[in-house]
Amino acid sequence: MRTFICFVPLGQYNNHEIIFRMFSLAKLSYFACSDSDKKWYNTVPKSKIEIDLGPCCKILLSNTTERQNKLKDFKVCALAAQSGHLDCLIYARSLGCKWNSGTCNNAAENGHLEILKYAHERGCPWDITTCNLAAMNGHLITLKYIHEHGCEWDKTTCKMASAHGSLNTLKYAHEHGCPWDKGTCEAASAFGHLNTLQYAHEQGCPWDIDTCKMASNHGQVNTLQYAHMHGCPWDASTCEVASLSGHVNTLRYAHENGCPWEATTCDLAAMIGQYHTLRYAREHGCAWNMDAYILEFLKIYPPIHKYALEQYLREPSALGTAGGLYYFRDTILEPLDNNEPIQAFFVMNGDVCADFPLDEILNMHFNYSNRSYHQQNQPVLVTVMATETTREQSVHYGCMVVDKETNVIQHYVEKPSTFVSTTVNCGVYLCSTRLFDTMADIHLEISNNNGSFNQLCTPISNKNQQKTTDQVAVVMWMEQDVLRKLAGQSRYGCSSSCDDRLSKIKTKTSMTCGLALAATTNNWWSQLKTAGAAIYANRHYLGLRQQNERFLHVKTLSEFALPSPIKLMTINPESCYSIIGHVYVHPTASVHPTALLGPNVSVGAGAYIDQGVRIKESIILQDAVIGQHSLVMHSIIGRCAKIGAWCRVEGSTTCSDPNPNVAFAKMTPQLPLFNALDGRLNPSITILGCSVNVESEIVLLNSIVLPYKTLTRSYKNEIIL
């Protein structure tokens, strides 16, 4: 190993004396080492001296032609100022290296006050950029020195301080006469610095539409919320940039609080491939312009292209479960891409979840043509998914009497007052296209009674693109109208279970023009009428997911091992955290190795589970944060919600689950929301809305928290508005 010492003059000639400074022996020795020796030194010694060997050091300590060339420009001094190496800067100047404002700028940007003083006192120039760079990185002491020694500043200085979120730097600049403009608020809003934005606004700094636009563009819900609540204007561009940037939370807040949007909100999201913002905007009624050229372009984004081919149809008013189908019948019957005509289509209620036996329903529906009575010109018009329930619970559903041999529905009553049958409607239908003929008869029947049913009829808007010659959109129900007719009974022949207004209409008999079948299944099925039902459904869907994964990895059914009823703790092989039973964690979520999840836990995209956390029977939605050593049970944690350390968030375990000791039992009917005696919330699961913040060491039991709330104390059986 070769070692040499280089002396560096610290100052100029002063009274015929020269003051010298040399590089440290450690730096000189480290520089002389080979690459393998440097690697050993960086990794092996337990107590080593940290060597800061920057680019400036390598240039100055080398003895090559390249060094001589670099000493002739401004680069060496600028690199020394950037690295904070005063010894290198002094040595470079002694060798005749030039400097300019870049030297002071680099020193100010990185907060190297000692170097800045040395350079300025020896005549190194600076400019407005020097102040701006110090403010941009929050170096308050450096900014004070620069300003006090005559360096100019402008409105960009406040903007840079605001962008960094350095409130003290912004206060100093503003209180010492530095100008500002709307860019200060825009920068604070864009980077989510709420305190900085609040200070600037309270001190009279102007803002405009761009403040909300910048917050939306960068996904900063907190600054967008503050600006909007304090009167900052916004327009359609706020939604456009949120959609373009893919920030669903920002777009949701803007839309829910009345921010306008236009078709460009969807168009921009589609063109740039932002699927989630496009879907949110479309599902909440935002228009778009999808012509053939754009659809061809969108093929580069397969999810967007597929979504663009799907259609969401909005009724002009509430038309009932069958009225909407009949209203959009021309759209439903449009041929497929290969011009093949539609033979049948599924209709599903949005509030049911199940292990849907769709293949069985299809087989029953299309294979029924071989039955003998089908030769009597009675086609199968609809096949209804059905299940069994208890006698007591059956009155809460649509009940049907079914021929056990033929599966034909012979009688149907929606939520009867007395017992009819334990076979109930699951809200899933496979409909033949000829069902629209039966709907047309029902439509005409209701329209003919328009004098008594005028409140059920809605004029069709000219703006609607539905191709139909009808002048009136009629409220029509799949359960009370269509199924009753197919089961052999007119809706108007019922007096006990129908509306009193309908019982006044004269009964009109008509021949049943087709059959309705019941595809009874023993698979799991449940309605989603309560929040607790989501936990129940999550439990079953996780079980189905694991069952499907096992089938994919097992060649034959004989090799399939049934799950043990005993839930044992296992280690996730990919992330090393512990799980019990069925658990799903999104690939982008982060779970600490010491956390314990399960049984029946779902963790969404971007969620963060800290050390020592315990979660069971819960749903954690995207971007939620669970602080260290917190407990979450029987709860739903909303998007972007944050739970602090050592918290307990727990819901009731008995609010909605079916009785496991009763065959065919379904979820119990929902209890009243509030207790009649004390007015408190009845036991239920705990729900945290989006962006809720629960501070550390809080206990939250059987409560519902609305979005954007901060909890600083414990609650039990309450709704926090």
Domain limits, the chain: 1-126, 344-367+378-527, 561-720
pLDDT at 310: 67
The span from the CA of 61 to the CA of 42, in Å, is: 20
Closest C-alpha to 230, from 251, 257, 252, 250: 257
Mean pLDDT confidence for 420-429 = 94
Please determine, for residue 373, whether its predicted confidence score (pLDDT) is greater than 70: no
Q: What is the mean pLDDT of residues 423-434?
A: 93
Q: Mean pLDDT in the chain?
A: 80
Q: What does the alpha-carbon distance between residue 348 and residue 278 come to, in Å, rounded to a whole number? A: 23
Q: What is the DSSP secondary structure assignment for residue 496, as one 8-state letter?
A: S
Question: CA 198 to CA 230: how far, in whole Å?
Answer: 10
- Residues 581, 599 contacting (CB under 8 angstroms): yes
Q: What is the pLDDT of residue 285?
A: 82
The secondary structure of residue 678, as a DSSP letter, is: T
Q: What share of the chain is helix, strand, coil (3-state, %, to 5)?
A: 40, 15, 45
What average pLDDT does this structure show over 203-222?
A: 93
Say yes or no: do domains 344-367+378-527 and 561-720 share a fold.
no
Is residue 512 predicted with pLDDT exceeding 60? Answer: no
CA dist 655 and 415 (Å) reads 23
Please give the pLDDT value at position 559: 41
pTM above 0.75, yes or no: no
CB–CB of 277/303 below 8 Å? Answer: no
> Could you report the per-residue pLDDT of 117-155, keeping only the tens digit for each?
998 988 899 999 999 999 988 899 999 999 999 999 999
How is residue 510 written in tokens?
Answer: 């008509």
Protein fold of 344-367+378-527: Spore Coat Polysaccharide Biosynthesis Protein SpsA; Chain A (3.90.550)
With a cut of 60, say whether residue 237 has pLDDT above it.
Answer: yes
Q: Count CB-CB contacts under 10 A for residue 156.
A: 22
Say if strands 590-591 and 608-609 run parallel, antiparallel, or are unpaired. Answer: parallel
pLDDT band at 590 (very low <50, low <70, confident <90, very high): very high
Q: What average pLDDT does this structure show over 284-294?
A: 70
Q: Mutual orientation of helices 263-272 and 236-245 as an angle, nearest 10°?
A: 20
Identify the band that residue 388 occupies on the pLDDT scale cut at 50, 70 and 90.
very high
Average pLDDT value for residue range 697-704: 93
Tell me the pLDDT band of 382, cut-offs 50, 70 and 90. Answer: very high
Considering Cα of 252, then 253, then 259, then 264, what sign does the dihedral take?
negative
**Mean pLDDT across 169-188:** 93
Q: Which helix (H) or strand (E) is 409 found in, with range?
A: strand 409-414
Report pLDDT for 289. 73
CATH node for 561-720: 2.160.10.10
Q: What pLDDT shows up at residue 503?
A: 38
Euclidean distance between CA atoms 600 and 585, whole angstroms: 11
How far is the C-alpha of 262 from the C-alpha of 110, rounded, in Å?
44
Q: What is the mean pLDDT of residues 167-193?
A: 93
pLDDT of residue 86: 85
Concatenate the DSSP letters of all residues of 60-76 into one string. HH--SHHHHHHTTSSHH
Percentage, residues of the chain above pLDDT 90? 41
Higher pLDDT, 490 or 714: 714
* DSSP E strand stretches across 610-708: 614-616, 618-620, 625-626, 631-633, 635-637, 642-643, 648-650, 686-688, 693-694, 699-701, 704-705
Nearest 5°: CA angle at 553, between 549 and 557? Answer: 95
Of 555 and 389, the structure prediction assigns the larger pLDDT to: 389
Cα–Cα distance measured from residue 357 to residue 119, given in angstroms and rounded to the nearest whole number: 79
370: CB partners within 8 A, 6+ apart: none
Question: Which pair of structure tokens corresponds to residue 165?
Answer: 């979120």
CA atoms within 13 A on the CB side of 118: 22
**If pLDDT is split at 50, 70 and 90, which confidence band does 452 have?**
very low
| 8 A C-beta contact, residue 185 and residue 211 | yes
Torsion angle, alpha carbons of 387, 388, 390, 393, to 10:
20
